[in-house]
Structure 1
């Protein structure tokens, strides 16, 4: 594949998006519920879209928030609802809309009194903390399209367990929100309050400092401090920036925030492999600025988070971005061997498109593996009940139990994983890769590739069945197994197909958040064979599509 000219090259600050146009479209465009792309659709992490094509507008946000209000009533949720948002322009615009709808409905709303932006893991932690101490249970709304491009918008709901909502909740919210969009009898619902911040139901509470202070329950902060590990942090223009400053101030860690800028243009982010700007800390292209910084400055480790702080990226000087799958395996092994109070014979959660090396680590230490579809919602019950001590996915999202084996968060926590990387270095006296080598772990021959797809072809892609691959030889490997249901303890459709060969595996699925499909592949032979496998699988898919 020929890369776009500017892939991985840092852009000079320019207007990558037109804020005025995005804002105007957000407030004025009226989605047509008869057009599939303009309906509310909860993917792997809430509803996402853009205002330019009327797939994410003020009306979507009103309808989704009102549907959440009705779901709370149906579910008997009577506590406060925590609201957080990241730094995308549509997140900033949507915050006032969400507050207006919630307050008009009589909900008690909690926002952070210390930070303008609140990352996903802080909301998850706040829900869990509140619900351990109060009988009136809380839930949360997080306004974010995660790592998606600057023009994108998103909103997701975390119920009382603190993690991404399950299928039952999202099905209700999606259905009811679309009914609201379709209804001509409810025009007043789109009339917003002028000054939601004056409502007595809106409470400014401590979310940030409480989260940061609790980090000492899950990370060996003292060892990091005593070691003097030099940590370069790139919040990638996102909500974690203020949190990292508070971490530095409270604990006195040797932290250098290399890019403190918050700008919804995100013009300081290099384009991804396909030329599109994404704040994706699992991509070496998007992380090019931090990788270059680490070459020129004396820092021991570089870390980054995406705009809502639920993903992590780890960079070493002289090496670059560590393979996300490798770091997950190293992290799991370190935690199992350095958390004396963790439940023995507990579980490790991974998605079916995550590398097999995580399974190998789990089995080595007699932990069971919960192999799930893509989406962190599949880990929530296991994390909340402390059945799972660690859960992670290949896109650099993970969380784990605290020092006592109790639930920390039920959503991804990128800040946590970055601090864990510092702890590993501080505790072992080795770099992340040196520690990995000492326990026999090295980067797998793994890759994830993304390809554009039109909406009308997504249905055809979903129609490809495992039977189409049985008995075949692909890239020199004989098909041993093909399936669409995750082999984990909760078993569910994976949203695509996974095929195991006698020399590796591959999987493909449409994205739940972008008009693309993804191919994942891992070879037991070599990188060359891995690339050959991806090319052949993509040719097969293109042949099968109309």
Structure 2
């Protein structure tokens, strides 16, 4: 149900008390016996709220100490790049991280001039460093992504530049919780003043090298010559300074929208549930930028750490992430001369099947994986994946020469790619997608949530293909049931059922008492609804019997 305030500017009653939040970061201590207050690494690191005792200084001390120990264990003796986003807890968390890293004699590089730095720039910095140095660098990004202003987050990126895999995050999570349980006795820490004066601390310019290298992955000349009038909205996040640098360096006709940091994010319009959320794929959070769509040739946006993208055009409005992924893949594999036939296209198994249709028309192999960008890291890193993208508006791709650019999601290059596509083809993104619909049929895609207890979520996560004993779904014969992804055979933590003209995937939520139902039909919206309805009935029967 959509909140009555969705799409409207946040009232003052919804704004956070920054002083109280930051005070709680230092004053409140988590109870390690309570699951909700422990360290928990999901697909995007540990996230929490200081007021709820789930992201406090104790958590950051413990996680950082665990990372330092992991670095030593793996002999990663290079610098660790540390970047913060514009959430209120990120700055104080960075101060804590600096103190622990220095005490552990780990060289740490923070951003020059105190700049807020996007996730993709950290990935870029790690990869560029490791191309030139024997000592392997890694990174920490302090961000809860697009989550509300009261949240904090901690992500770790190993030397391959991408989000850490499960074996890494499991070690860090387990060790951090052990440290919490032992009342932080194993944490090495110095004062903030000692950290600032230490030779283990340095400043790094993340922005300039990234911006100057954009011509290696994007046709910046075509964008410049096109005279496209572009609006770039960082939604109060880390991309503000990056877009300002891009605008000046490449002399683009670009307006940077909301070019200031406000820890309350008071300029944001409320999301579907009435919360402030910097989600660049939500029409409610993007309402302000959508109101400008007829004043620009292209409007682009990013979430707070700029690893996700939002694309707005005069004709298409806010482009559905699945639609844009399809267009981006078509364009890259059609116009990049060095994107040879052996390069695969990475997609998550809950992304639109329109991608398969596009890839088949281009004679490209699809590499389908479970949800989570971590599954694309190795392929981007070794250059076997030309593109990796997920339905939640996160993607990255290779440089013109087929070499890795970032092995984490990069919302900035995806935003600028939209400008390149429009500049080179002369078409609106929505028009290109309409061509796909004419050729392959219209996609009806949606994601809904259904209630599920903790026990039911555990059951769903461990289901296997043989658990499904039915022959048809929404009037069509079931072709296959998947509990692991076709691309890498990794478990999906749920089920996907596929028919000739549709599919449905069910996965448990990691944070709420719900499971997610992703579904698509190439027949009609009514057929989509029937798929969703029957999927819920299937799950209810399974919950009864298992």
TM over 0.5: yes
Q: Distance in 2 between matches of 1:8 and 1:250?
A: 34
Structure 1 residues not aligned, in runs of 5+: none
Q: Distance in 2 between matches of 1:458 and 1:167?
A: 19
Q: Where does residue 48 of structure 1 map in the other structure?
A: 47
Per the TM alignment, residue 535 of structure 1 is displaced from its structure 2 partner at its CA by 4.0
Deviation at 1:328, TM superposition (A): 0.5
Return 516-525 or 137-146, whichever deviates more: 516-525
Matches within 5 A, 1:226-265: 226-265=225-264
Partner of 2:65: 66
Per-residue CA deviation, residues 515-543 of structure 1 (Å, 9 max, x unaligned), is: 65322111111123223433443455467
Deviation larger for 161-170 or 364-373 = 364-373
**Whole-angstrom CA distance in 1 between matches of 2:26 and 2:456:** 30
**Residues 433-477 of structure 1, C-alpha deviations (whole Å, 9 max, x = no match):** 223344547762111224566656533443555444331544334
Corresponding residue for residue 199 of structure 1: 198
2:526 aligns with 528
In the aligned structure 2, how far is the partner of 1:455 from the partner of 1:145? 24
Q: Identify the residue that residue 299 of structure 1 maps to in structure 2.
A: 296
Counterparts of 1:97 and 1:432, CA distance in 2: 44
TM-fit CA distance, 1:78: 0.8
SS in 2 for 1:96: helix
SS, match of residue 98 in structure 1: helix
Instruction: Give the Cα–Cα distance (whole angstroms) in 2 for the partners of residues 248 and 361 of structure 1.
Output: 33
Is 1:309 the equivalent of 2:296? no
- Which SS does the other structure have where 1:52 is aligned? helix
After TM superposition, the structure 1 = structure 2 runs for residues 133-532 of structure 1, keeping only pairs within 5 Å, are: 133-184=132-183, 186=185, 189=188, 192-295=191-294, 298-438=295-435, 440=439, 444-450=443-449, 455=454, 458-471=457-470, 473-488=472-487, 490-512=488-510, 516-532=514-530
TM-score (norm 1): 0.94
The 3 A distance-change label for structure 1 pair 250 and 368 is same
Query: SS at the partner of 2:345?
Result: strand
Quick one: structure 1 residues 442 and 405, their matched pair in 2 at CA, closer, same or farther if it must change by over 3 Å? farther
CA shift in 2, pair 1:199/1:15, >3 Å: farther
Change (3 A) 1:516 1:264: farther
**Is the CA contact 2:95–2:192 (under 8 Å) kept in the aligned structure 1?**
no
CA contact (8 A) 1:229 1:300 kept: yes
Q: 1:13 to 1:300 in 2, by over 3 A?
A: farther
Partner in structure 2 of residue 132 of structure 1: 131
Q: How far 1:484 sits from its partner (Å)? A: 1.5
How far is the alpha carbon of 1:148 from its aligned partner? 1.4
User: In structure 2, do the counterparts of structure 1 residues 99 and 72 end up closer, same or farther at CA, with 3 Å as the change threshold?
Assistant: same
Between the aligned partners of 2:165 and 2:410, the Cα distance in structure 1 is: 19
After TM superposition, the structure 1 = structure 2 runs for residues 7-46 of structure 1, keeping only pairs within 5 Å, are: 7-12=6-11, 15-46=14-45
Cα pair 2:442 2:522 within 8 Å, conserved: no
Within 1, Cα distance between the matches of 2:486 and 2:105? 43
The 3-state SS of whatever aligns with 2:399 is: coil
- Which of 528, 535, 539 in structure 2 is aligned with 1:537? 535
Look up the SS of the partner of 1:279 in the other structure. coil
4+ residue runs over 6 A deviation: none
Quote the Cα distance in structure 2 between the aligned partners of 1:531 and 1:266.
36
Tell me, in whole angstroms, the C-alpha distance in 2 between the residues paired with 1:330 and 1:191.
Answer: 51
Residue segments in structure 2 that go unaligned for 5+ positions in a row:
none
CA contact (8 A) 1:100 1:196 kept: yes
- Cα RMSD (Å) of the superposition? 2.2
- Asked if the contact 2:460–2:493 (Cα under 8 Å) also holds between the matched residues in 1, the reply is no
Offset at residue 236 of structure 1 (A): 0.7
Q: Could you report, residue by residue, the CA deviation over 1:235-287 in whole angstroms, capped at 9, with x for unpaired residues?
A: 11111111100100111111111222321222322222233332111122221
Given that residues 179 and 186 in structure 2 are in contact (C-alpha distance below 8 angstroms), is that contact kept between their aligned partners in structure 1? no
Change (3 A) 1:86 1:267: same
Distance in 2 separating the partners of 1:55 and 1:293: 38
